[in-house]
Amino acid sequence: MKILMVSSEATPFAKAGGLADAVSALSRALQRAGHDVRILLPRYYCVDRTKLERVTESFSVEWPAGSIQAGLYKSVLPSSKVPVYFIDHEGLFGRDGIYGTKAEPDFADNTERFGLLSRAAFKLCRHLSWFPDILHAHDWPTSLVPVYLRELERGGDFARTASVLTVHNLGYQGAYPAGRFPSTGLPWERFGPAGFERGSTLNLLAAGIHSADFLTTVSPTYAREIQTPALGAGLDGLLRHRSASLVGILNGVDESEWNPESDPHIPRTYGPASLSAKDESKARLQAAMGLPIDPTVPLIGMTTRLSEQKGIGELFGPLHGSAWRICTEMRVQMAILGSGETWCEDELRSLASRLPNFRARIGYDEALAHLITAGSDFFLMPSHYEPCGLAQLYALRYGTLPIVRRTGGLADTVENYDETSGSGTGFMFDQLTPSSVFDTAGWAVWAWYNRPAQVLEMRKRAMSRVFSWDRSAAEYLKLYEMALAAAKKAGAAH
């Protein structure tokens, strides 16, 4: 099959979260399965143009109001032969930030920026005389791809192309004032019928969900949850309407990046049979964070975007934070890596200055993320909602037991500890409150001190759980077939 991934992120070129890892790993796995997969990304400032091959200087993307002149560059996805194309436009992408910056979290021209990216997908295919079976879009930034396919391109070159939209996180929808609709390049009479209209706003993700031939999200539980008012973020009705074309496919672990048996970021590699070498990562992590080097105290790690979704209010909120209680009422250490909301960054610094057993690193640090995954005993993820969650999959792979809320992909990938049998791969709770986080961390710490043999067995069990991208890719291929059948039916009905 020929598949074009159109995405705002792909590791290692541009990453803000799990989306980047998922797009690259899925592309590699599809290529391993013998398919012709390519990726289109914007050439952000963080992508060094001198390391790319120039395809053409004059790449003009047609818009109703006149075409936009851009450049086209090319590279190859590491550990694969997947071609990665970059659309280059100084005015729209030549600046720091993928979606925005600290000062301007959501750039004022994001509809133009990601509109151009989405429109460029069609131009790229024409330029290459390569017409994919599947146009695979990801989240709100490329939700216009299925819309353009349906609204502008159903005949001609793309008559046999189907669109798939993967929702990696329903919490971000690309919602803007309706007055920005003309920047999509579509005529006003399509605002309602093409699915953009949500109340008085323009909603890019809603239009993508409305238009895509098939929809996926990143875990079976999340696929069900987003069809309920509680977790549907206002789009549950639309998702229920499309439920026959919506499936949840778990993300996997990219072994070329996350494998304790070959990880270059840890002092000594280890596997299930050499778990004692994990202690060296713990000591290195304690040293790196400025914690006392002590193998006899359990270490709870966390690497995360500091956003409300991740439970930071319950953990660090100054009035009811549970991190303070965990560190003052238990013999434990905590090591946090994250960046995001300013109040939380400030609170983490403040906690670190007051607690000898709490350390935080503010920023984005890939190497430290690996060391935290390997060197911690437990990995904390008390998310309000979690579409799939990659960090807990990495933790399981490294024998670091997750402490998680039973939601979304966390519910699908972690098995709760049972003290009587010793079964399980982590520690789970249902309601997200400061005291449930505290209690469940306390349960894990209790097991660490009082049931060390069970904890060791849990680590080995966690490492043996396989979350393979090859298996996920096989599921994507099945639904690509379904999307093609749906597109064919829609074409015949036209």
Question: Binding residues for ligand ADP, per CB under 6 A?
Answer: 17-18, 21, 303-305, 337-339, 364-366, 369, 388-391
- 436 in Cβ contact with 407 (< 8 Å): no
Indicate the residue among 22 and 149 with the shorter CB distance to ligand ADP. 22
Q: How far is the CB of 9 from ligand ADP (least distance, A)?
A: 10
Q: How far is the CB of 173 from ligand ADP (least distance, A)?
A: 15
Amino acid at position 484, single letter: L
Indicate the residue among 71 and 141 with the shorter CB distance to ligand ADP. 141
For strands 175-177 and 201-203, give the pairing. Answer: antiparallel
Q: How far is the CB of 372 from ligand ADP (least distance, A)?
A: 8
C-alpha distances (whole Å) from 426 to each of 256, 264, 300, 305, 484 are 24, 26, 13, 21, 39
Q: How far is the CB of 320 from ligand ADP (least distance, A)?
A: 23
Q: What does the alpha-carbon distance between residue 225 and residue 228 come to, in Å, rounded to a whole number?
A: 6
Q: How far is the CB of 369 from ligand ADP (least distance, A)?
A: 4
Indicate the residue among 186 and 312 with the shorter CB distance to ligand ADP. 312
**Helix (H) or strand (E) run with residue 30 in it:** helix 18-32
Amino acid at position 136, single letter: H
- 84 in Cβ contact with 97 (< 8 Å): no
Which residues pair with residue 398 across a beta bridge? none
Helices (H) and strands (E) in the chain, counts: 17, 18
Residues 6+ apart with CB under 8 A from 108: none
Tokens of 287: 């040293």
Total residues found in the chain within this entry: 494
Hey, how many other C-beta atoms are within 10 angstroms of the C-beta on 385?
A: 23
Amino acid at position 51, single letter: K
Indicate the residue among 70 and 360 with the shorter CB distance to ligand ADP. 360
Indicate the residue among 87 and 395 with the shorter CB distance to ligand ADP. 395
Indicate the residue among 92 and 404 with the shorter CB distance to ligand ADP. 404
Tokens of 168: 């990696």
Select from 134, 35, 50, 128 the least CA-distant residue to 80: 35
Q: How far is the CB of 211 from ligand ADP (least distance, A)?
A: 24
Q: What does the alpha-carbon distance between residue 125 and residue 162 come to, in Å, rounded to a whole number?
A: 14
Indicate the residue among 413 and 440 with the shorter CB distance to ligand ADP. 413
Select from 406, 94, 95 the least CA-distant residue to 225: 406
Q: How far is the CB of 246 from ligand ADP (least distance, A)?
A: 19
Q: How far is the CB of 210 from ligand ADP (least distance, A)?
A: 24
Amino acid at position 437, single letter: V
Indicate the residue among 143 and 303 with the shorter CB distance to ligand ADP. 303
Q: How far is the CB of 257 from ligand ADP (least distance, A)?
A: 9
Indicate the residue among 143 and 339 with the shorter CB distance to ligand ADP. 339
Q: How far is the CB of 391 from ligand ADP (least distance, A)?
A: 4
Indicate the residue among 39 and 337 with the shorter CB distance to ligand ADP. 337
Indicate the residue among 344 and 463 with the shorter CB distance to ligand ADP. 344
- 252 in Cβ contact with 469 (< 8 Å): yes
The angle, 0 to 180 degrees and rounded to 10, between the axes of the packed helices 322-329 and 434-450 is 30
C-alpha distances (whole Å) from 237 to each of 194, 211, 226 are 16, 15, 9
Tokens of 304: 């995360």
Q: Which residue is nearest to ligand ADP (CB)?
A: 18
Q: How far is the CB of 261 from ligand ADP (least distance, A)?
A: 18
